[in-house]
Structure formats: C-alpha cells, structure tokens
A and B are shown apart, each in its own frame.
Chain A
Amino acid sequence: MEIIRADRLAKQFHVNRHHRGVWGSVRNLFSREYRVVKAVDGISFTIDRGELVGYLGPNGAGKSTTIKMLAGLLVPSGGEVVVNGRIPWRERREHVQGLGAVFGQRTTLWWDLPVIESLQLLKHIYRVPARRFQDNLETFEALLDLGPFLDTPVRSLSLGQRMRADLCAALLHDPPLLFLDEPTIGLDVVAKERIRRFIRHVKEERGTTVLLTTHDLADVQKLCERVLIIDRGRLLYDGNLDTLQQQFGGKRELVVEFAEVYETVEIAGATVADRRERQVTYHFERNALSASQLINRLSRRYRITDLAVREPDVEATIRRIYEERLLE
C-alpha cells in the first residue's frame, strides 16, 4: 500500500533580479526581471506504508522543496503528488492531521512553556483522545527519557533534549507518516544513537512511514534500507543502499601485515596503494575478485601475520556520486 506518490513532481521559483545601490532599490520596486530556478525538476517515486526511506542530496539539491510540497506548504508547479490519499496543499488541515514533522533546526514547541504543557496543548490541537495521549506519552517518556525535563521550559533545554521533546510532540497524534529533517544535526554520538534507536522503534513497533533527510550518513547506514538521492532537482538514484554500494562503492581495501619485508609485493587483481615496510595496502574491485580470493593468492606467495579488509564507506560513495556525477 503506497502512502506517498510523486509523479513528475516539479517546482520552479522565480527569483527576482536584485539591483544594488540606491538607484537599484528604486528599480527593484518596478523591475519584473527574474530568472527561473528549477528547484525540483520532475521527480517520480512512491513510498509504501511502513518504509523508512533516506532522502539525500547536497545543499540546494531540492530536498526541502520536495518535503515542503509533500507537507502541503508549497503548491507544485508541475506534476502530481498524493500523500495519504490526499493532495496535500488542497486539504491542508486534513492532511497535516495525518502528518508528523520534525525540522531539526527549529522547534514546534512553545519557547517559554514547560515541555509537558506544550505537549498537552498539542493534544488539544490534534484532538488526541485523553487515553491515547496518556499511553503515547508514557511510551515516549520511557523511550526518550523525557522525565527529567518534562517540567522545564523549552528555552532551557539542551539541543538533544529539545530534539527528543520535538520527536515526542510529532508523534503524539499517531500520524501514519513522519518527516524528519536533520534530526541528529549538532548532537553528540550518544544522543544521535538514542534518536536512531527511537526512529527504528517508531518504524518497527508502530508501522510509521518515515522519510528522513540528513547529512549524517551514519543515520542512513544504520536506519534506511532504501535511499533516494537527488541533485539539482533530479532524482539520481532510488533503491537499496547495498546495491548503491556495490555499483558505485569504489574500491575495497585490504591491509596486510607481512612477516618480513619483501622486495616485490605486486599481485594480480589488486593494486598497491600504500607501502610502509612490512605493511601494504591493496585496492581491489569488488566485482573483479573476492577478498578471500585475494587473501588466498597472497598467502600462497608470502607469509602473513595480520590483515584487515576495509569497505568503502557510504559517505565516500555518495561524495563520489555527487562529485563525479556518476548517475547522470
């Protein structure tokens, strides 16, 4: 069952030409010069209920424009989008009732109010039945460890605490769909891990569909089976993270520690990337030979004391995709 369907979805903006100086600001008042920026340039995808999808792309790629269209904040300039069976911008109120959203950079809570009062206000706004609210609050309080700061005003929370409170706020009304925009930005490793655990729980236990945009590829690696990659308004990749790695993952590394210093360490199927006395680093293609084949070849010729295989990380893969435009 699909929950999001985007069909040749597009959004273009008219950016007014800005003239500088005093005379320029007078001209700005009357000038109708503009250039057209295609922020989202005809992308199509569907997301099924219960999926956890990572939405990736460099800054300015069109990520937040897409999210804004899915959330009903922006009207598309082309194509179609259906979320939860509705056209988001046409039925804003009904649409957002079925939506949870956390924008990492800002909070939806009331700045001067204790967290618990903000949550209670949201209960009224979303008309959450008292019983349901109580149950959800108890669950989230335990999972996110909200207890210590439920009575603290939002303005005095740390960034990590605020993010946890915001996650709770976004899910109190049991939305089937959750948008997370940079939910781990600026957090330390422990706080990040806690948030990831929570996201996984929400997906697995509640069946919530999650669309996650992030710059932290560890988030993607640990959470998402599927990623969408967008650049310059176009969808470059839609699929499995492993497949992406296999296709574009670049070279794997084998670091070998030999028992003695050999004169030549060349071997068929791999290139020597680095050599420091007894320690040699080989690069080899995943498709050309397996790690065990390579180790076999080496151990037949040399005496090995230690070795390690290093996978190329997702971060490097995606950076390569952007930089070398591998998908275009």
Chain B
Amino acid sequence: MRKRNRVFGHTLTIYLRLLGVQLRSQLQYRFSFLLDLLATALIVLVEFASIALVFGRFGSIQGWSLGEVAFLYGMVEMGFGLMDLLFSGFDPPHFGQAVRRGTFDQLLLRPVNITTQVLGSALELRRLGRIAFGAAIFAYGLQHTAIVWTAAKVLYLPLVLAGMVFFFGGLFMIGATITFWTVDSIEVMNILTYGGSYVISYPMHIYQNWLRGFFTYLVPAIFLNYYPALYFLGRPDPLGYPGFAPFLAPVVGAGMLLLGRAAWRWGIRHYQSTGS
C-alpha cells in the first residue's frame, strides 16, 4: 500500500512537472500565443453572434430565449475547452503523429505511467481563449435568465462541467487509440467530438428524432448539458424521461472516460505486439 502511494505521488509530481514544461515552452512564443488566443476567442464570438442574430429575428428557438441558449452554449464552450486543454496529448491528429514520429516510443522508454506521460505531452494553452469567452457567454446567459439558485445547484454545476470534460476526454482517448491502426478514420471521431459538442450547444428538443435518438442511446451526450440545463433553468422535460435524468451528467462522463481508458489500454497492448 505504501509503495503504491509512493508511485502515485511520483506520477502526480511528474505530471505537474510535465505541464510546467508545456507552460514554459509555449510562453517562449508569446506573440504567436497571443495571436492564437485572439483567433480562438474570435471564432467563439462570431459563432455566438450568429446565434444572437437569429434570435434578433425570431425572438426565441422553440420557446428558449437567447439567455437560455447562452447558458447551454457557454457551458459547452467551457467544458469542451477545458477538456481540449487537459487532453491535448490525446487529440487524435496530434497523438497519431507522435506514434508515427516515434515520440510515443520515447515515452514508453521512461519509467512513468504512460497515460500520465501522454496527458503531460501537450497542453494547448490557446484553448484558454475558448474557455474565457465561453465563460463570458455563460455569464451573459446567467444575467438573462432567472435561475433560482440553491445550494444543490451551486454544488452540481462543477460536476456537470467535469462530466463534459470526462466524456469528451474519453472520446479523445478512443480516437487516439484508433490512430494505432489508422490515421484515415479520424474524421469519424470528429463527428462525435466536435459534432457532438456542437449539437449539445442547442436545446435538444429542436432536433429531429433520429438525431436526438443517436445522441441519447448511442452516444448519450443529451445528458451532459441539455438535461442539467432543464434542472438549472427550472424547465419541464418535454421528452418525458425519468426525474433523475438531469443528474446523469457525471455518470455518463465517467462512463465514457472508463470506456476510453479500456480502449486505450487495449490499444497499447496491441501496439506492443504489432508496432505501427
């Protein structure tokens, strides 16, 4: 037990040191960092402005106000951005390159847990721009909705964010695992990650049944954001799921992360038996 604790402590300090390396490395390129930050922030802003324009025209989307959609949208930007920051090392195109260039082999030659090393191999600081503007849009949403805050809601909010980080992090891990075999199929994963995060930025009752069904039963992203939002905003459930549905976000997130981890471990075993 004590030995396990020591290994864990070592792993954690190495993780933090590796993140420190990423931080220092990227701050050497201050100008390009600022440009990147600006660019990602602009993208978020333009995307949200285009939504706001639609609202200017129609007033609401199937009963949801701009403020309520801002709540949804801001949550996803923050959650996905945070995930993108922390799981940069598993970003499939990035990881696929590490495998092909042999840098992944270099990680396997070091006496530290391999998952930790991949997590510490990249930290895309420019995602901070996305997170910051997501937070701004979220704040706008809070101002323009009348959420009745309770202690439970305040405590649950970070868990919803964590759920999204875990969920998309798990998908990134699965995507990274696939690159052990092929880099051609990354697009399929993009549909789930980027497509999924886009889909859950809107109130999901607006979608056609097949699309909503896909993101409920196959990839249960509906529970990550839409259902928690119903709870926070105090809206009735138009789809008639059980009352605990809004509280599934952390469970669904943790489930996807576990699935990702299982795939990842299996992938590494395969890699060690075949090379690339």
Q: Which residues of A contact B (CB under 8 A)?
A: 13-14, 25, 65, 68, 71-75, 77, 89, 92-94, 96-97, 99, 101, 103, 105-106, 108, 110-113, 117, 121, 124-127, 153
Asked if residues A74 and B273 are in contact (CB atoms below 8 Å), the reply is yes
**Which stretch, B99-107, B196-204, B238-246, touches the partner chain A?**
B99-107
Q: Given A75-B272, A110-B21, are A125 and B103 also a contact pair (CB < 8 Å)?
A: no
Q: Which of A14, A93, A125 contacts B274 (CB 8 A)?
A: A14
Asked if residues A111 and B25 are in contact (CB atoms below 8 Å), the reply is yes
**Bound-state Cα–Cα, A75 to B266, Å:** 14
**Bound-state Cα–Cα, A156 to B107, Å:** 22
Least CB separation from B275: chain A residue: A74
Q: Given A106-B103, A121-B17, A124-B13, are A113 and B109 also a contact pair (CB < 8 Å)?
A: no
**Pairs A–B under 8 Å by Cβ, sample size 5:** A13-B274, A65-B275, A75-B272, A89-B272, A106-B103
Min Cβ gap A129→B in Å is 14
Max chain A CB contacts within 10 Å: which of B13, B105, B109, B272? B109
Which residues from A are CB-within-8-Å of B273? 74-75, 77
Q: Please classify the interface of chain A as helix (H, G, I), strand (E, B), loop, or mixed, using the class held by over half of its residues.
A: mixed
Asked if residues B111 and A93 are in contact (CB atoms below 8 Å), the reply is yes
* Interface check B28, CB cutoff 8 A: yes
Q: Which of B21, B106, B110 contacts A113 (CB 8 A)?
A: B21
Max chain A CB contacts within 10 Å: which of B14, B101, B113, B273? B273
Asked if residues B274 and A126 are in contact (CB atoms below 8 Å), the reply is no
Min Cβ gap A86→B in Å is 12
Max chain B CB contacts within 10 Å: which of A65, A92, A99? A92
Least CB separation from A39: chain B residue: B275
Asked if residues B106 and A108 are in contact (CB atoms below 8 Å), the reply is yes
Asked if residues B272 and A125 are in contact (CB atoms below 8 Å), the reply is no
Which residues from A are CB-within-8-Å of B13? 124
Asked if residues A108 and B109 are in contact (CB atoms below 8 Å), the reply is yes
* Interface check B37, CB cutoff 8 A: no
Which residues from A are CB-within-8-Å of B274? 13-14
**Bound-state Cα–Cα, A13 to B270, Å:** 12
Which residues from B are CB-within-8-Å of A113? 21, 24-25
Question: Which B residues from 83 to 118 make CB contacts under 8 A with A?
Answer: 101-103, 105-106, 108-113
Least CB separation from A92: chain B residue: B108
Asked if residues B111 and A126 are in contact (CB atoms below 8 Å), the reply is yes
Asked if residues A112 and B106 are in contact (CB atoms below 8 Å), the reply is no
**Bound-state Cα–Cα, A111 to B26, Å:** 11
**Bound-state Cα–Cα, A68 to B108, Å:** 11
**Bound-state Cα–Cα, A101 to B273, Å:** 20
* Interface check B10, CB cutoff 8 A: yes
Asked if residues B272 and A74 are in contact (CB atoms below 8 Å), the reply is yes
Min Cβ gap A162→B in Å is 14
Least CB separation from B103: chain A residue: A106
Question: Which B residues from 12 to 27 make CB contacts under 8 A with A?
Answer: 13-14, 17-18, 21, 24-26
Q: Which of A14, A103, A117, A124 contacts B102 (CB 8 A)?
A: A103
Least CB separation from B272: chain A residue: A75
Least CB separation from A95: chain B residue: B111
Asked if residues B106 and A121 are in contact (CB atoms below 8 Å), the reply is no
Which residues from B are CB-within-8-Å of A99? 109
Map CB proximity to A onto B106-144 as digits: 1 under 8 Å, 0 otherwise: 101111110000000000000000000000000000000
Which residues from A are CB-within-8-Å of B105? 68, 73
**Bound-state Cα–Cα, A73 to B276, Å:** 11
Asked if residues B112 and A112 are in contact (CB atoms below 8 Å), the reply is no
